[in-house]
Structure 1
Amino acid sequence: MQDMLVQVEPLIPALRRYARSLVRDRVAADDLVQDCLERAVSRWYQRRDGNVRSWLFSILHNLAVDQFRRSASRGSHVPIDERDENEFGEAAAQEQKLMYQDVLNKLAKLPRDQQAVLLLVAVEDLSYADAAKVLDIPVGTVMSRLSRARERLQQELERPSIGAAGNIVSIRSARE
């Protein structure tokens, strides 16, 4: 048990980061990480003598995919009575937050397979081989999806956001 704790505990912040980037909800991400850790503890004996980090990310990724499939089939549910009204809308406090949100929104437009590869390699700093293990795909597929994801995200970032175009006011002459 102590061996497991020593190997797993330092990985929890990275798991939380990856979960939050996947589900984009702090509470749901924490639940996802907890489910991942529960599964890892209960199946610790099943792990191979490989990289514990990629094994945990595989568990987390597979749980997230299962969750996406379930929610897609039944739709989203927001209990309005249990939420604070500030959770439904939030004014931008500064330009940095707007840019950050814009990047997240454009990242969310990527197909899930490209999104997962980009997050694992670029954000979580997994090697191509480890990302391939997590996603259970060949390394070449990781490289091609990553290339397409980077290219598509760059195109999205160079394109003005929809909200930005709506904020432009044309000035007309008084003589018209």
Structure 2
Amino acid sequence: MNDMLRQIEPLIPALRRYARTLLRDRAGADDLVQDCLERAVNHWSQRRDDNPRAWIFTILHNLAITRLRSSASRPRHIAIDDAQEETFARAPSQEDGLRYRELLEAVARLPEDQKSVLLLATVEGLSYAETAGVLGVPIGTVMSRLSRARERLLKERDGDRGAQPVAQLRRVK
């Protein structure tokens, strides 16, 4: 039991980060992590590796996909007493805050397969092999989805500058 706790406890902040990014809801993400940890503890003997990181992220990812699919069919309800102040506050006027929000929105607009690969491989630091294991796809698919996600984010970021003509260098004889 102590060995299990020693291996799971350091993963909790990363699990919360990944869940919050997927769900974009703090309370829902915390509930998702709790459900994930409950499953991990109950099925601890079923893991196949000494390092449970990828296994636990797989559980979290599968639970998140199930939750997102089921919540897509019904409207989201937030009680006004439970709503956080940021929900009603104005966007920050600082440039960094705006860039951060734009980045989060751009990541949210990515297709689900690209978003998951991007978050697992870059934010959570999973290897391509671990990411492939979590998502149940080949490593080549992980690399191509990651490449497409990065390319799409760069295009969105440079969208305004992309319309300007680029100076061509010519050879002068």
The TM-score by the shorter chain falls in which range?
0.7 to 0.9
Instruction: Give the corresponding residue for 1:153.
Output: 153
Instruction: Measure, in 1, the Cα distance between the counterparts of 2:158 and 2:78.
Output: 33
Report how far residue 138 of structure 1 moved.
0.9
The count of corresponding residues between Structure 1 and Structure 2 is 160
Superposition TM-score, scaled by structure 1 size:
0.85
Residues 138/55 of structure 1: CA separation in 2 closer, same or farther (3 Å cut):
same
Match of 1:53 in 2: 53
Gaps of 5+ in 1: 161-176
Partners in 1 of 2:68 and 2:21 — Cα distance? 13
Q: Which amino acid aligns with 1:116?
A: S
Q: Does residue 19 of structure 2 align to residue 19 of structure 1?
A: yes
Q: Per-residue deviation at 1:83?
A: 3.0
1:86 offset after TM fit, Å? 5.0
Cα 1:118–1:70 change in 2 (3 A) is: same
Alignment of 1:156-167 (within 5 A): 156-160=156-160
1:33-72 alignment runs, 5 A limit: 33-72=33-72
Counterparts of 1:94-173 in structure 2, within 5 Å, are 94-160=94-160
Identity %: 62
Question: Structure 1 residue 84: deviation in Å?
Answer: 5.3
Change (3 A) 1:28 1:90: farther
Deviation at 1:49, TM superposition (A): 2.5
What's the RMSD between the two structures over aligned residues? 1.6
TM-score between both structures, scaled by the size of structure 2:
0.86
Runs of 5+ unmatched residues, structure 2: 161-173
Q: 1:10 to 1:108 in 2, by over 3 A?
A: same
AA partner of residue 125 (structure 1)? G
Whole-Å separation in 2 of the counterparts to 1:151 and 1:135: 21
* CA drift at 1:82: 4.1
SS at match of 2:49: coil
